[in-house]
Amino acid sequence: MRFKENDLREFGGLIEKILAGDDLSEQQAYEAFVQVLSERQPELNQGAFLAALRAKGENVDEIAGCWRAIMDLDTVNVEINSGKMLVENCGTGMDRIKTFNISTASAIVASSLGVPMARHGARAITSNSGTVDMAEALGVDVECSVEVVKQSIEKCNIGLFNGMSVNVHPGGLFRILKHIRFGSILNIAASLANPASPRIGVRGVYDDSLLDTVVSLMNRLGYEKGIVYTGFDSVCKNSMDEVSTRGITRVVEFDNGEQSSYTLSPEDMRIPRGTYEDIKPLQNFEDEITQFLKTFTDPSHSSRVNAICANTAPILYVCGRSGDYVEGA
pLDDT reported for residue 54: 95
Range list of β-strands (E), the chain: 87-91, 117-121, 158-162, 200-204, 225-232, 239-240, 249-255, 258-264
pLDDT reported for residue 207: 93
Phi, psi of 191 (to 5 degrees): -65, -25
pLDDT reported for residue 126: 65
> pLDDT tens-digit profile of 237-256?
999 999 999 999 999 999 99
Cα gap 266→269, rounded to integer Å: 5
Cα gap 25→65, rounded to integer Å: 8
Q: How many CB atoms lie within 10 A of CB 321?
A: 16
Cα gap 150→307, rounded to integer Å: 28
Cα gap 297→219, rounded to integer Å: 38
Q: Are 139 and 132 in contact (CB under 8 A)?
A: no
Hey, which residues does 61 pair with through a beta bridge? none
CATH 3.40.1030.10 fits 87-328, yes or no: yes
DSSP class of residue 323 equals: S
CA dist list (Å): 113 to 156, 164, 329: 11, 28, 12
Mean predicted lDDT score pLDDT of the chain: 94
Q: Are 261 and 74 in contact (CB under 8 A)?
A: no
Residue 282 vs residue 96, higher pLDDT: 282
DSSP helix/strand/coil, 261: strand
Hey, which residues does 98 pair with through a beta bridge? none
Matching CATH topology for 5-73 and 87-328? Answer: no
Domain-by-domain residue ranges, the chain? 5-73, 87-328
Closest CA to 135 of 311, 325, 293: 293
pLDDT reported for residue 175: 87
Q: How many CB atoms lie within 10 A of CB 109?
A: 19
> pLDDT tens-digit profile of 39-49?
999 999 999 99
> pLDDT tens-digit profile of 138-192?
999 999 999 999 999 999 999 999 999 999 999 888 888 888 888 889 989 999 9
Q: What is the CATH number of domain 5-73?
A: 1.20.970.10
Go through the chain and tell me how many residues it has. 329
